[in-house]
Amino acid sequence: MKPRIAYTLGLDIGMASVGTALLAEDHIIGLHVRTFDKAETAKEGESLNAKRREARLTRRRLRRRAHRLTRARRLFKREGLIESHDPTSFTSTASPWDLELSSNLVYGE
């Protein structure tokens, strides 16, 4: 039976290439490099995945905002600040200027 030799495999994974090296204890057994085109547009140099990434980030941002609003509505309902956690309970037809004026009258400012 042959004696076992300890090998080391080295990998170098880059943006446009992958390099490998197979090493024994005292010498290099093999080297290999594979290069490929970058995933960028030729004109602008931006990522081909940028459009998908932007859409994904927008979906996440909208989902997180909706979740925060839902949690706020539930908290306000639980504390008795609103009657229901229905989104229409937050809407008001009053002008912001009228609301400010009425709050100034109440608090004497």
Mean local confidence (pLDDT), 52-75: 93
Q: In this predicted structure, which of 7-16, 19-28, 34-43, 55-64 has the lowest mean pLDDT? A: 34-43
Residues 31 and 62 in one domain: no
Residue 25 counted as domain residue: yes
Please tell me the predicted confidence (pLDDT) of residue 82.
Answer: 79
With bands split at pLDDT 50, 70 and 90, how would you rate the model's confidence at 66?
very high
DSSP code, position 39: S
Total number of domains constituting the chain:
2
Residues 34 and 56 in one domain: no
pTM of the model: 0.46
Q: Longest Cα pair distance anywhere in the chain, in angstroms?
A: 97
Residue 21 counted as domain residue: yes
Residue 44 counted as domain residue: no
Which residue range forms the structural domain that includes residue 21?
Answer: 1-38
- 74-86 pLDDT tens trace: 888 888 887 876 7
Q: Which amino acid is at 7?
A: Y
